[in-house]
Structure 1
Amino acid sequence: MTLCRGCCCGTARKHPQVDHDGQLDQLRHGVGAADRVRRSECLNVCDRSNVLVVQPTPAARRAGARPVWLAEVLDPVVLAAVADWVRAGGPGAAPLPPSLRPHVMPAPRWGPLRGRGGAGR
């Protein structure tokens, strides 16, 4: 799983009511393996922050599963649902929990990246 942090997502400037470090800790603790949660400096979908991408397992990927992009993940209850889903197998291995459906967003289609922030900024 990749959690956007740095530019807009994960900053008190944009979401002062959210404990961004606490979110990262909750996910790392919730999935049971800290190495399964990575931080990205910017995923270039700042208008949908906080964004995270849940990767399928290698076996699920070979079977055709694709990453699932989740937007506006600001609530600890939503983070708990993400962690539960990942522990159950995630994309392609476990059904998407109904509580996460409103957060699913299409994967962005980026053009050539321009500068530090990339396209779409």
Structure 2
Amino acid sequence: MEGLAALLPPAPDRAALARLPDERALAEMARRVFSAGFAWSVIEAKRPGFEAAFQGFSPARFAFEPDDNWGAPGRDARIVRNGAKIRSVRRNAAFVLGVAREHGSFGAFLAAWPSSDEVGLLDLIARRGDRLAA
């Protein structure tokens, strides 16, 4: 059991999690979604393009974004142009906003989650998020 415990990452810094802006939570979700099936280095190299294409990943902004504006990222050569992954940004923005309404912010939600239940957190994220299953 000690060997397995040694492989686990250190416990999260709850104060840092509580300060995590919703935009950064959504940006990290997008990074994970877009990395699936690609070399991480490709996605990391395109990170500035993702930030620009998704205008800083503001979940509140996406809640009011008209449907026709969602075609632009699909034509943006600065990012990976995968329609399902692009749509996941919008759906995950709604997920982040919903959690933020319930808990004050997505970061506050993460900070309050018991570190002894990481599996439960992953399950919740997989159920409520889009394309975020492990």
Q: TM-score, normalised by structure 1?
A: 0.29
Q: Which has the higher contact order (CA 8 A, sep 6+)?
A: 2
Normalized per residue, the structure richer in strand is: 1
User: Between Structure 1 and Structure 2, whose CA radius of gyration is higher?
Assistant: 2
